[in-house]
Amino acid sequence: MHSAEHHLDAFVSRVWEHYDAHARDGLPWRLTRDPYRVLVSEVMLQQTQVPRVVPKYAEFLTNFPDVKSLAAAPLEDVLRAWAGLGYNRRAKSLKRIAEIVVAEHGGAIPDTLDGLVALPGIGYATAAQILAFAFDVGVPFIETNIRSVYLHEFFGDAEDVPDSAILPLVEATLDRGRPREWYWALMDYGVYLKSTLPNPSRRSRHHTSQAAFEGSNRQVRGRLLAALVGAVGDADDGADASGAPPLDDARDDRRGYRGITIGKTAADLADEVRFERERVDAALAALQSEGFVVCEEGRWRIG
């Protein structure tokens, strides 16, 4: 056996051995093959860490148990259920995906790479993960934990390693008979490596440090959406701990909640979110252009 082949085989054995001993098989999205539930989990996991996703995943599926219920839900309800996960564009994209799937695919999540990447907010890597975890179809892809594994195992101390150098190794070691579990095994091994070593992904050409959240435009946008999601009505009765009315009550009348006018002025929002009026105006304009909010008679609400 050539040394390169032996290296690959030894690597595969090492990954499977770690998985057999330390699999994170209690993660709720690993307990289903339902394509809708896998889709929800993969969109949530795009930019949010596992401990934050676990409770929100259960809550979201309680509110929207299938693709039809998500497609039919008002955007404000979806954003309310999404609160705490950040990057609210994902929630809007997920609702739009549900609408497209119901209208154009008979309620069935596409089971091809081309069909999945045609959906809003779904890139190649997310599509490949949905194929693996919902349909047990193996397509080579790279995400952060997988990148860490191959950098650690095959690239020594090399810096500025491009994904184009890693992807052939992902393809060469892919277990096409068990892609679902193989990718779980790789991810779990990557989590282990990052918990015991300096993060190998820092040696990737594609590694970026997340910009500070405090004072950022992301924070302005997030506070505005949170304020407006909680602004369906100003009544205290029926509100949960966040101050937002329950989903069933919030759906009753888009023009008002128990007779109270929906929406807030930009000046009120600026006071509430504690940012300068100019930044609030700019953020509202951007949110409006993206379809998150609308302004009627000087009052802003979720679109």
Q: Which residues are catalytic?
A: 42
**Half-sphere exposure at residue 266, Cβ-oriented, CA atoms within 13 angstroms:** 18
Neighbouring CB atoms inside 10 A of 149's CB total 30
Which of 66, 44, 89 has the alpha carbon at shortest distance from 221? 89
Cβ proximity of 217 and 283 under 8 Å: yes
State the angle between helix axes of 3-22 and 179-196 in degrees (0 to 180), rounded to the nearest 10: 80
* Alpha helix positions (H), 83-216: 89-104, 113-117, 124-135, 144-154, 163-173, 179-196
- Asked whether the beta carbons of 201 and 148 are under 8 A apart, the reply is yes
What angle, rounded to 10 degrees, do the helices at 3-22 and 144-154 form? 130
128 close to 141: Cβ distance less than 8 angstroms:
yes
